[in-house]
Amino acid sequence: MKKLTFILCCLLPTTIFAQDKELINLTYGYSKLKTSDTTKTVRTFEGNIALPIFYNDRNVLSAVIGYRQVGLSNLDINYPETVYGTSVRLMYQTRLSEKHQLRLIGQMGAFGDYQNFSSSSFRWTIGSEYIIQGEGNSKFGYGLVYSHQFYGHQIVPLFEMFKQLNERWSIAGIFPVNPKIVYKINEKSRTGFEWNVDVNTYRIASEESQNRYFKSTQSTFSLFYRYTIAKHWNINFKAGISPRQEFGIYDENEKSTWYLVTIPLGKKIQPVESFKNSSFTGQIGISYSLF
């Protein structure tokens, strides 16, 4: 039983390094961008499932299978109406001592409009994190992620933490991409605020847009609510605003060498077409988690 608990606690289905121990996660998101002439919408469906491969008292090898579908309506650019992402992530975690652990992660996936599918639709990510168990149930992690994107190379330094401030309040998440302030209402309900930075790229393989890719960048501040409906099953709600939501079509030949999160360190890539605006966002989901 202890071995099973250890492996399940290490599974990370929702992000590269996730704080919530969700083994199954299904979400539907909706963004509404209002302009003077039209209402533009972005609809997102995501699903993840985590699976153990091998484990013993000190080592864990697990996999996460993910699927993402994004539907776009009325954007003022020559965009694909629907783009997809299918990925497999492998995570190896070893216990170095009672309070120290090391994680290694690799992910590969195909992202695009899935027309004329080829090997050029794949992008990949590798990362590592060193985890320190603090006093009580506090935890701190220091990590670095490298992603080979369609637009070049991306480096993301990460700081993960979980800190219980008192019986009700805690700080959790991944800095700088997904920090959270959590308030425990009761044993079944939690609410709080979170900041999330999401950058995704998709290959456009249609004949009229060959050698181009679609890039979406969204920074969102949200109020969330989580309710446990049946032991480990949860319903999740989010509502917020995206002060920055940007969509663009880019030529693959125009590549910047390196990016630090979303900041270009070299020549900034200029889109062939682009659209920028703020938006209101909402999300509903169901998940299965350990706690």
What pLDDT, in 10s, does the model give residues 171-216?
Answer: 999 988 899 999 999 999 999 999 998 888 999 876 566 678 888 8
Reported as a single tens digit per residue, the pLDDT across 3-18 is 444 444 444 433 444 4
How confident is the model over 30-48, as a mean pLDDT? 85
How confident is the model over 54-64, as a mean pLDDT? 91
Query: 3-state DSSP call for residue 209?
Result: helix
Confidence of residue 80 (pLDDT cuts 50, 70, 90): confident
Q: Where are the domains of the chain?
A: 2-289
Confidence of residue 132 (pLDDT cuts 50, 70, 90): very high
Of 30, 51, 59, which is closest to residue 42 (Cα–Cα)? Answer: 30
pLDDT of residue 150: 86
Strand 256-260 relative to strand 152-164: parallel, antiparallel, unpaired?
A: parallel
pLDDT of residue 15: 44
Of residues 37 and 25, which shows the higher confidence score?
25
How confident is the model over 222-236, as a mean pLDDT? 93
Look at the alpha carbons of 9, 144, 110, 197 in this order and tell me if their dihedral is positive or negative: positive
Q: How far apart are the C-alpha atoms of 277 and 233, rounded to whole Å?
A: 35
Average pLDDT of the chain is 86
How confident is the model over 247-259, as a mean pLDDT? 79
Ranges 22-26, 244-248, 251-255, 270-274: which has the least confidence: 251-255
119: phi then psi, degrees, rounded to nearest 5: -65, -20
Write a three-state SS string for 44-86. EEEEEEEEEEEECCCEEEEEEEEEEEEEEECCCCCCCCEEEEE
The answer to whether 83 and 176 are in contact (CB under 8 A) is no
pLDDT of residue 291: 61
pLDDT at 1 over 50: no
How confident is the model over 43-59, as a mean pLDDT? 92
pLDDT at 33 over 70: yes
Query: How many Cα neighbours within 13 Å face the side chain of 71?
Result: 8
pLDDT of residue 169: 96
pTM here is 0.86
| Beta bridge partner(s), residue 73 | 41
Provide the residue type at 174 as one letter. I
The answer to whether 23 and 50 are in contact (CB under 8 A) is yes
Q: How far apart are the C-alpha atoms of 269 and 102, rounded to whole Å?
A: 35
Q: How far apart are the C-alpha atoms of 78 and 63, rounded to whole Å?
A: 36
pLDDT of residue 254: 67
CA distances from 63 to 24, 37, 40, 49, 108 (A): 12, 45, 36, 8, 11
Among the four given CATH numbers 1.10.20.10, 2.40.160.40, 3.30.2350.10, 2.60.40.1120, the one describing domain 2-289: 2.40.160.40
Q: How far apart are the C-alpha atoms of 149 and 199, rounded to whole Å?
A: 10
Of residues 110 and 258, which shows the higher confidence score?
110
Strand 189-204 relative to strand 169-175: parallel, antiparallel, unpaired?
A: unpaired
Provide the residue type at 7 as one letter. I
Reported as a single tens digit per residue, the pLDDT across 280-291 is 999 999 999 876
Look at the alpha carbons of 148, 131, 262, 75 in this order and tell me if their dihedral is positive or negative: positive
pLDDT at 125 over 60: yes
How confident is the model over 134-142, as a mean pLDDT? 88
How confident is the model over 16-25, as a mean pLDDT? 64
Q: How far apart are the C-alpha atoms of 126 and 147, rounded to whole Å?
A: 7
Look at the alpha carbons of 46, 7, 288, 167 in this order and tell me if their dihedral is positive or negative: negative
Count of C-beta atoms within a 10 Å radius of residue 16: 22
Confidence of residue 157 (pLDDT cuts 50, 70, 90): very high
